[in-house]
Amino acid sequence: MDEEKNGESDFSDQLIVSQIVSGQKDLFRLLVRRHEKAVNGMGLSFFRNQEDASDFTQEVFLKAYRNLCGFEGRSRFSTWLYRIAYNTAVNEISRRKEYYSLAEEDVNKLVNTGDTPERDTLRNAAREAVQAAVKELPERFRICIDMFFFYDRSYQEIEAITGIPVNTIKSHVFRAKILLREKLDF
């Protein structure tokens, strides 16, 4: 059922794009509303503060709007948009020389699940250990791990977004899992 929703979403994105290109420019707000949260989330993973993420989100949608007639429909609109977002972020990060993983959430935030205090403490300690281990991964591994696990993108979509070949992505994810396993001593 979720696949049907995604399929309908993909189709309606392409329909909206064709209507915008045909002159109904005000429909772009529908695409923004539909994808703003995901693009902003990518911005947060790269820039780690809401102000920069908001600026990034605006820049991405402005670039997408300007280049909308270049969207050929060979991939999903969201993949095309993520490619713009990724390239924009990478260019900015190259200037700043930093990248943060989505796994690097504030470790001081305690998660209260309603379990016993001991279980909550153990869960938080495990989360902190995973975050520390992910933070130590090489950047190329963290980017692939983020896209695969946190953005729930397929290897093919990650390739379309990052330009990294599928086999290299698979290798990065595999190696990252091994490194995490070693660091966490599973």
**pLDDT for position 62:** 94
Joined together, the tokens standing for residue 160 give 């379309």
Dump pLDDT digits (tens) for 49-86. 899 999 999 999 999 999 998 888 888 899 999 999 98
pLDDT surpassing 60 at residue 2:
no
Candidates 2.60.120.560, 1.10.1740.10, 3.30.2130.10, 2.70.150.10; CATH matching 1-100:
1.10.1740.10
Dump pLDDT digits (tens) for 114-129. 567 787 777 777 777 7
Q: Which of 186, 169, 185, 183 is nearest to 134 (CA)?
A: 183
Q: Cα 30 to chain center, whole Å?
A: 20
Percentage, residues of the chain above pLDDT 90: 30
Give the mean model confidence (pLDDT) for residues 148-173. Answer: 87
CATH topology for 102-186 is: Arc Repressor Mutant, subunit A (1.10.10)
